Structure 1
Amino acid sequence: MATSHGTSEWKKRSVVSNFIFKFDGTQDGKPKVALFKRSDKVSTYQHHIAPISGSIDPTDPSPLAAAWREIREETTLTPSSITLLRRGKPYTFTDPSVKREWTIHPFMFRLKPETPDSNPSIKIDWEHESWAWYSPDTIIIIHDSYKGVPRLAESLRRVYFETDLGHEPGRILSSGLQALSHDHESGARQLASKALQTLRDVVAALGPPLDSRQQWWSQVRTAGWHLCANGRPSMNAAITSALLTALSEIESQLQLNSTEEDATKTALQILDTSLTNRSKTAEAISSAFAAYMEQTFPAKDQPLSILTLSESSTIRLALTHLATSTEYSLDLRILESRPLYEGVSLAGSLIEALDTSTSSSSDKKLKSHKITLYPDTSPALAATTEGGKAVDLVLIGSDRISASGSVLNKTGSLPTVLSARHVGGSDTRVVVLGETEKIALPGKEKDHDSEENDPTQITRAWSAEDNSQRVQSAAAVLEEKVKGESKAGSCHEVKVAVKNVFFEWVPHSLIDAYITEQGGWAVGDIKNRSEKLAAEETRLFGSL
């Protein structure tokens, strides 16, 4: 490709930069980052210190997959000894000295602490001649003192924000990200609220702009970007939408205020208002759902049968509202939703809510509701009523809604919908409840990272005392195999994996209605919202 730098060909390369951190057992109690001195056998930047880097190959499914591959090849480390902590915002620069245009995808990994069964050690290959632990603050602040690869400090600060934000704001953001990533009980709406609260706490800790409002605003947007990208990537649609909306409003108000002291006060007021108003969204969805049901199922002489799964606060509130504010008697069928049994929790919450509520409908007579729980293996049975007919409605939540209208929800959603369609055909309505903030940025469903969690959430049920001895013995064998242990003397290698994927897609072609806080939406409305979000993201985060 000819460039403005001359007539010779420049090469474009997309690479990963993997920063491996150690937080445990450091002498001064502060985090350290591993940097590697490149050998004379590599083609560029010989004898420069660098993170574990490498090109993203066409066969790599994603930059993250390339990052894991490079780490394994160059250090022998695997997911058993390190864990992904953060992703950094990619960026591009040119280096005339090597005639390259580099696009950098930074990642931050954490070395797991040593245990009696684990002794993670870094073993370098031919691409490096040595390595050492460094202070990340030192590399970022006085990077000119080190012979590092180009933009080493820039790549590092994109994953290690503590230096630029300051100790306390950085600590708050780091703790907030960790809490979001480990929260497997809250739904997407609740996670978005927690992300807003974290941003509010970061802004409060930053205080008023000291040097310039521009730098302060960049710090606030950086915190927002990390909450979107690193809080809970598999459920980040709601987080991203909520934060973009709040940041956009802050930006608009800042343009009206001239003093530096007003910046923090204005931002905090907007974030506090956003947090307060979020409860009204669920109420609006509940009302819109009740209106949809009244229009779609006007007859109330027979119980209304609804099949659902998992635990969504939006669904819980909507079903409670439907039971207490209309004349319907409900026949609720709930799948238990392994491995964390959120369906069981939903059933308990509904029972408690109905036991303590009073009807607000015009009909004050006692209404009878029925709740039945089913194992995840029987969605077709759950979709069939006692009279042999199909349920009236399949109700699912949404952790993410793609621009095309497909919905990402708890694993088990797709077989539930397909089973209901098999039993009842188009007579069974499939309805999605979700805030408009669940709508994601444009992109293909397959490009969205799936979330796979600890397999012990599944396997622990196999070892229960009330299982047969054969099942318990098999569970012990499988546990050893999952850990990679082999029987001494065996001439066969058997690899075993237990998949614990939390979410799956339900295609838009299987969905009849989307109920939001703004009423019923069509796929066209969803697409327009997604495109507007993309424009906001580019405007607010594009220059970071």
Structure 2
Amino acid sequence: MAGQTHGLEKRAVVSSFIFHFPSGLSDKPLVALFKRSDKVNTYQHRIAPIAGSISRKDKDPLTAAWRELAEETKLTSSTLTFWRTGKPFSFADESVRREWTVHPFAFRLRGSPEDGGKGQGVIQTDWEHEGWQWYDPTEVINDDSFDGKGVPHLRESLRRVWFEGEMNDKAGKALHTGLERLQNDHESGSHELTAIALGVFREFIIQMEGGMDDARWWEDVRMAAFHLVKNGRESMGAATMNALLAILEEMEEIWRLESSSEQKLERMLTIIDHHLKGRNSRSGLVKDTFASYVRSNFLDGQSRDKLTIVTLSASSTIRDSIVDAFGSLDISTLELRILESRPLFEGVSIASSILSKFQAQFQDTPSKKLHINVYTDASAAIAAKDVDIVLLGADRISRSKGVSNKTGSLPMVLSVKHVAPNAKIVVLSELEKVNGENGLIDDEKHEDNDSREVISAWRSDGVKGLKVLEDSRSGQGVTSNATVEVRNIYLEWFPLSLVDAFISGEGVLNDRHIHKKVNQQEELARMYFDNISVRY
């Protein structure tokens, strides 16, 4: 985006690094760097990633990154997977009269059997480059000579996606493996993922070297927190961000003390352990609040023959809240309707776990009865008939977007509003799920997952026509003007206005609670993430 500030043209650009992992999941990759040709406007014959300006037509920087990759290398999502987002940074270059804001991204090359996965048969450069080759990213980051032969701040752009290059092996590996675990965990809810992220953060702190008196140590801690939020499961990262911001606020006080590094480390680990322990106790408060809500809204001091609840997806908080509330209330029969939740069928999993928990808890209580009905996702309106409560979780809560939860939540809520208008829409969620408007977690971004999760169910059932679709996706057997994509989007938004109650360990929440949390998060996010300095 161009403009004029202090005589310099402001330009936002993307820097896309293509990584190749020779051993598949190895943590020792290579990175492709390209030599710019004499036909480009700036930095001719300098080494660079795939870079380009963000245009007004681009929805976001990542869209621009994919566009530039396709234009300059012919690589698309069929040959690349998006891997990491780096913290953006800005710098001025008087030699070209520009002020650059760089948005770094990392992509992983899928590889091709023909060239041993090395990309020579896949990466096709255009006129903007006169050659390219593979480099060891760690060597690039630590080699001062790249300041002369690379584009300005090449090493800074790279270190923001390849943090392993400037950390000791143990700390880098702790964060690397932790991020991989978070990225690949499609079963745990945001509450569980946050606990995993805090455990990774704790291990990273233990493995760091160097004295805490060095400002660089504190910067690396904040950068690690950024990566756990942005490059773990971003779509479910609001809880992780709020938890880490609270921890960083307490850790900073310890870091500034005049005491030994050993003493500081011990106190910091105690802080993290305290937060981890507190997460378990808060889940019990959510269950109590939910039971109190049902008692005041559906019992009025009387007993009740039956309560009907509809839900979807898998959430340990919802599972435990349903069964424990049922046990504490004067209700004879609980009818539970659960959508199957494709493509991973979490609805089947939660039905099974609720059944097991009920049988263990009420095997000697014949007066308590449970009826479970599992519906296909397309049957949301049928499952909604005559229900009392729609019980949903939340992976994120946004002041402007609403509640982000498993895909199928919006059709369920809208169906209930039409079919059973007196039913209550209830969301079980801690305040830590609230996402502010600081831009770190992009509320507009959808988590588009591997289409093979959807296709595998079709293949196992022998669905007719699948081969035609698969041939189309691979470019075989169809004309060039016909394309097919299979989308696997996990999460979607539904408006705050459709929710009757937000239930948390702090009680029943309202807009005031949400707005206060948004403001608090934005202030802390600016404090700990905005001023991570440019190092190279």
Separation in structure 2 between the aligned mates of residue 396 and residue 211 of structure 1, nearest angstrom = 43
Separation in structure 2 between the aligned mates of residue 530 and residue 196 of structure 1, nearest angstrom = 21
In structure 2, relative to structure 1, the CA distance for the partners of 1:116 and 1:325 (3 Å cut) is farther
Paired residue for 1:484? 475
Q: Tell me the alpha carbon deviations over residues 469-490 of structure 1, each in whole angstroms, 9 at most, x when there is no partner.
A: xx33x11211221222225xxx
Separation in structure 1 between the aligned mates of residue 116 and residue 434 of structure 2, nearest angstrom = 42
The yes-or-no answer on 1:345 pairing with 2:349 is yes
Local SS of the residue matching 1:378: helix
Local SS of the residue matching 1:297: helix
Q: Tell me the alpha carbon deviations over residues 21-64 of structure 1, each in whole angstroms, 9 at most, x when there is no partner.
A: 122169x9942211111111111111111111000011111100
Local SS of the residue matching 2:377: coil
Structure 1 stretch 323-332 or stretch 340-349: which is displaced more?
323-332
Paired residue for 1:114? 112
The yes-or-no answer on 1:42 pairing with 2:40 is yes
Separation in structure 2 between the aligned mates of residue 447 and residue 359 of structure 1, nearest angstrom = 44
In structure 2, relative to structure 1, the CA distance for the partners of 1:211 and 1:461 (3 Å cut) is closer
Contact 1:233/1:449, CA 8 A, preserved across alignment: no
Contact 2:310/2:390, CA 8 A, preserved across alignment: yes
In the TM superposition, residue 509 of structure 1 has moved relative to its aligned partner by: 1.3
1:478-517 matches, within 5 Å, as 478-487=469-478, 493-517=481-505
> Which of residues 507, 523, 526 is equivalent to 1:538?
526
Contact 1:394/1:431, CA 8 A, preserved across alignment: yes
Contact 2:314/2:347, CA 8 A, preserved across alignment: yes
Structure 1 stretch 399-408 or stretch 498-507: which is displaced more?
399-408
Separation in structure 1 between the aligned mates of residue 19 and residue 509 of structure 2, nearest angstrom = 45
In structure 2, relative to structure 1, the CA distance for the partners of 1:359 and 1:448 (3 Å cut) is farther
Separation in structure 1 between the aligned mates of residue 23 and residue 501 of structure 2, nearest angstrom = 54
Contact 1:81/1:118, CA 8 A, preserved across alignment: no
Separation in structure 2 between the aligned mates of residue 141 and residue 464 of structure 1, nearest angstrom = 49
> Which of residues 452, 455, 462 is equivalent to 1:459?
455
In the TM superposition, residue 358 of structure 1 has moved relative to its aligned partner by: 4.5
Separation in structure 1 between the aligned mates of residue 9 and residue 21 of structure 2, nearest angstrom = 37
* RMSD over aligned Cα atoms: 2.2
Q: Tell me the alpha carbon deviations over residues 442-476 of structure 1, each in whole angstroms, 9 at most, x when there is no partner.
A: 269984310111222222222335x5xxx33x112
In the TM superposition, residue 537 of structure 1 has moved relative to its aligned partner by: 0.9
Paired residue for 2:415? 419
In structure 2, relative to structure 1, the CA distance for the partners of 1:155 and 1:446 (3 Å cut) is closer
Local SS of the residue matching 2:372: strand
Contact 2:401/2:493, CA 8 A, preserved across alignment: no
In the TM superposition, residue 535 of structure 1 has moved relative to its aligned partner by: 0.6
Local SS of the residue matching 2:99: strand
> Which of residues 428, 437, 458 is equivalent to 2:432?
437
The yes-or-no answer on 1:428 pairing with 2:432 is no
1:15-164 matches, within 5 Å, as 15-24=13-22, 30-115=28-113, 120=119, 121-145=122-146, 146-164=148-166
Paired residue for 2:316? 313
1:74-473 matches, within 5 Å, as 74-115=72-113, 120=119, 121-145=122-146, 146-207=148-209, 209-210=210-211, 212-256=213-257, 258-298=259-299, 299-328=302-331, 329-358=333-362, 366-384=367-385, 390-404=386-400, 406-425=402-421, 427-442=422-437, 447-465=443-461, 471-472=463-464
Separation in structure 1 between the aligned mates of residue 27 and residue 516 of structure 2, nearest angstrom = 49
Contact 2:397/2:404, CA 8 A, preserved across alignment: yes
Contact 2:313/2:341, CA 8 A, preserved across alignment: yes
Aligned residues: 521
Separation in structure 1 between the aligned mates of residue 5 and residue 64 of structure 2, nearest angstrom = 28
Local SS of the residue matching 1:248: helix
Q: Tell me the alpha carbon deviations over residues 162-183 of structure 1, each in whole angstroms, 9 at most, x when there is no partner.
A: 1222211111101111110110
Structure 1 stretch 367-376 or stretch 185-194: which is displaced more?
367-376
Contact 2:37/2:129, CA 8 A, preserved across alignment: yes
Paired residue for 1:387? none
Contact 1:254/1:266, CA 8 A, preserved across alignment: no
Separation in structure 2 between the aligned mates of residue 310 and residue 29 of structure 1, nearest angstrom = 33
> Which of residues 7, 12, 15 is equivalent to 2:10?
12
Separation in structure 1 between the aligned mates of residue 262 and residue 415 of structure 2, nearest angstrom = 59
- When normalised by structure 2's length, the TM-score is 0.92
In the TM superposition, residue 133 of structure 1 has moved relative to its aligned partner by: 1.5
Q: Tell me the alpha carbon deviations over residues 348-380 of structure 1, each in whole angstroms, 9 at most, x when there is no partner.
A: 0000001111499xxx76211211111111111
In structure 2, relative to structure 1, the CA distance for the partners of 1:325 and 1:211 (3 Å cut) is closer
Contact 1:324/1:359, CA 8 A, preserved across alignment: no
The yes-or-no answer on 1:526 pairing with 2:514 is yes
Separation in structure 1 between the aligned mates of residue 381 and residue 250 of structure 2, nearest angstrom = 47
In the TM superposition, residue 141 of structure 1 has moved relative to its aligned partner by: 1.6
In structure 2, relative to structure 1, the CA distance for the partners of 1:359 and 1:274 (3 Å cut) is farther
Separation in structure 1 between the aligned mates of residue 371 and residue 43 of structure 2, nearest angstrom = 69
Separation in structure 2 between the aligned mates of residue 192 and residue 373 of structure 1, nearest angstrom = 29
Structure 1 stretch 142-151 or stretch 93-102: which is displaced more?
142-151
Contact 2:304/2:330, CA 8 A, preserved across alignment: no
In the TM superposition, residue 494 of structure 1 has moved relative to its aligned partner by: 2.1
Separation in structure 2 between the aligned mates of residue 69 and residue 170 of structure 1, nearest angstrom = 30
Q: Tell me the alpha carbon deviations over residues 61-118 of structure 1, each in whole angstroms, 9 at most, x when there is no partner.
A: 1100100110111111111222111110001111111110100000111112333699
Separation in structure 1 between the aligned mates of residue 5 and residue 459 of structure 2, nearest angstrom = 63
Separation in structure 2 between the aligned mates of residue 201 and residue 85 of structure 1, nearest angstrom = 22
Q: Look up the equivalent residue of 2:474 and give its one-letter code.
A: K
In structure 2, relative to structure 1, the CA distance for the partners of 1:239 and 1:2 (3 Å cut) is closer
Separation in structure 2 between the aligned mates of residue 122 and residue 2 of structure 1, nearest angstrom = 36
Separation in structure 2 between the aligned mates of residue 484 and residue 324 of structure 1, nearest angstrom = 56
Contact 2:34/2:50, CA 8 A, preserved across alignment: yes
Local SS of the residue matching 1:15: strand
Separation in structure 2 between the aligned mates of residue 249 and residue 17 of structure 1, nearest angstrom = 34
In the TM superposition, residue 273 of structure 1 has moved relative to its aligned partner by: 1.7
Q: Tell me the alpha carbon deviations over residues 298-320 of structure 1, each in whole angstroms, 9 at most, x when there is no partner.
A: 14322011111111111111112
In structure 2, relative to structure 1, the CA distance for the partners of 1:84 and 1:327 (3 Å cut) is same
In structure 2, stretches of 5+ residues that fail to align are: none
Separation in structure 2 between the aligned mates of residue 255 and residue 198 of structure 1, nearest angstrom = 23
In the TM superposition, residue 435 of structure 1 has moved relative to its aligned partner by: 1.4
Q: Look up the equivalent residue of 2:340 and give its one-letter code.
A: E
In the TM superposition, residue 144 of structure 1 has moved relative to its aligned partner by: 3.1
Separation in structure 2 between the aligned mates of residue 352 and residue 42 of structure 1, nearest angstrom = 65
Contact 1:405/1:526, CA 8 A, preserved across alignment: no
In structure 2, relative to structure 1, the CA distance for the partners of 1:52 and 1:401 (3 Å cut) is same
In the TM superposition, residue 125 of structure 1 has moved relative to its aligned partner by: 0.6
Separation in structure 2 between the aligned mates of residue 180 and residue 211 of structure 1, nearest angstrom = 28
